[in-house]
Amino acid sequence: MNNPFLGLPLVPSFTVTSPDIQTGATLDLKFMSGIFGIEGGQDVSPAISWEGAPLDTKSFVVTLYDPDAPTGSGFWHWAVMDIPASSTILSQDAGNENGRGLPEGAIQLPNDARAKKYIGAAPPKGHGVHHYFLTVWALDIEKVAIPQDSTPAFLGFNMYTHVLARGVLKFEVEVK
C-alpha cells in the first residue's frame, strides 16, 4: 500500500466516521463503481461526518483516493472543495452528478474519470486489496481559488499550505 500522506506536512487529525463504511466489513455494492464494471455498483457516495476539526477552520475539502490503482499515480474517485466550516456531515449520495446533497457553496471537481461526481471503489478483478482514503481536510481559507474543472491533484497542490488538520477514514476493497 502506498501512503498518500508521505511528503505532506504533519498536521493534527480529527475524527471522520460513516455509518456506511465498517472496518473489516464488505463494502456494500451501492458504494462500488458501476461505471467501472462492478456488477451491482451504483456509485453512491457514503454518508460521512466529522468532528474535532480546529476551531479556526474556514472550509473543508473531501477527497477519496486509491493509491493502489494500477496507474502509477493512483486514482482520485472524488473531490469536493469549499465546504463551509459550519458543515460536519455529507449525506449518503451527496456526491451524485447534480450535487444537490452538498452544502451550499461546495464545489465538486472532476475525478480522474473526468466526471464531476463520486465514483465508487473499483479495484480490477484479481488485482488484490486496494486501500481507500476518504479524507476530510480542514483549511485556513474559505475558498480554494482554482477553476471548477481542475483535477484533484491540482486541488491538493493549491491547498497544501492551507491545511490545518485532516481526518481520514481508511477502508479496503478487493474484487476476486
Residue identified by cell 479556526 is 56
Model confidence band, residue 6 (pLDDT cutoffs 50, 70, 90): confident
Angle at CA of residue 93, ends 60 and 149, nearest 5°: 55
Average pLDDT over residues 73-93: 97
Beta bridge partners of 166: 13, 137
- The secondary structure element, H or E, covering residue 80 is strand 75-84
93-141 pLDDT per residue, tens: 999 999 989 999 999 999 999 999 999 999 988 899 999 999 999 999 9
Which amino acid, one-letter code, is at 147?
A: P
- The secondary structure element, H or E, covering residue 77 is strand 75-84
pLDDT value at 61 more than 80: yes
| pLDDT at residue 23, as a whole number | 80
The CA distance from 60 to 56, in Å, is: 11
- pTM for the full predicted model: 0.96
Average pLDDT over residues 42-60: 98
